[in-house]
Amino acid sequence: MQPELTPYDALFLDLDGTVIDIAPTPAGVTIPEDLAAHLDQLVRHLGGALAILTGRPIEDVDRLLAPMVPVAAGVHGAELRSVPHGEVASLAAPIDAGIVHAVQRVAEAHAGVLIELKRASIAVHYRQKPALALPLEAALARILDDGPDHLLLAHGRQVLEIVPRQVSKGAALEAIMCLPTFAGRRPIMIGDDVPDLSAFEAAIRFGGKGLKVAGEQFSQAEADFARPAEVRGWLAAMAVRNSQS
């Protein structure tokens, strides 16, 4: 059941697979022209309590949602912007160059694999070659076995990502909920993938809820939204309804 959005809520949104459709590559996504306008209306309705929680760097958030420059946690919480148009704080050290080079060598050995460098993490996309999931996972696990122990291998929608162990979307949601604009509100987190699970759990700890988008992680039967287009429709409806109240 999709909830009504009240002025006492705080809204947290994943991007890819949640409000924008999955594309063959991260750079190939299409942004509906009215998405930023609806989100901006909701920012005003919620008194500023809207944040983006994404695996993308925050600079990608700003490019995709322009002219918005929202509160955001990027790279699964390794980056944080606490106020709109504010500075972006780095909460994790850059990935060691030796790890980057080792991952690049793995990718070069498998045609169709895409590497995405994000300073504090490195993502290996195999959407164009899904049969490579297990060999890539084994190769990346070997790299981490020989590397520093502050990194781990995370799974996503046809992507494997080396990320700092101490960061998560759940930790990012908790940090944002402590900000004056968000404190005391009911958090609603919408996401579609494994990294969003920690944010669902954090939202529930703050008296809120997590809403699932169907896809590769959640079935239609267990999801609250059938697809990103349905999330966008809900956001548009909430924006219009609350602009009239």
Q: What is the pLDDT of residue 245?
A: 54
Active site positions, annotated: 14
Sequence-separated (6 or more) residues with CB below 8 Å from residue 152 = 144, 162, 163, 165
Average pLDDT value for the chain: 92
Q: What type of residue is 168?
A: S
CB-based contact 14:194 (threshold 8 Å): no
pTM more than 0.75: yes
Low-confidence ranges of the chain (pLDDT < 50): none
Long-range Cβ pairs for the range 198-204 (8 Å, 24+): 198/168, 198/169, 198/170, 198/171, 199/12, 199/14, 199/53, 199/168, 199/169, 199/170, 199/172, 199/173, 200/170, 201/170, 202/169, 202/170, 202/171, 202/173, 202/174, 202/177, 203/12, 203/173
CB-based contact 19:228 (threshold 8 Å): yes
Name the strand (E) or helix (H) holding 28: none
Q: What is the pLDDT of residue 2?
A: 76
Q: How many CB atoms lie under 10 A from the CB of residue 217?
A: 20
* Span 98-107, pLDDT tens digits: 999 999 999 8
Q: Which two tokens stand for residue 206?
A: 């703050």
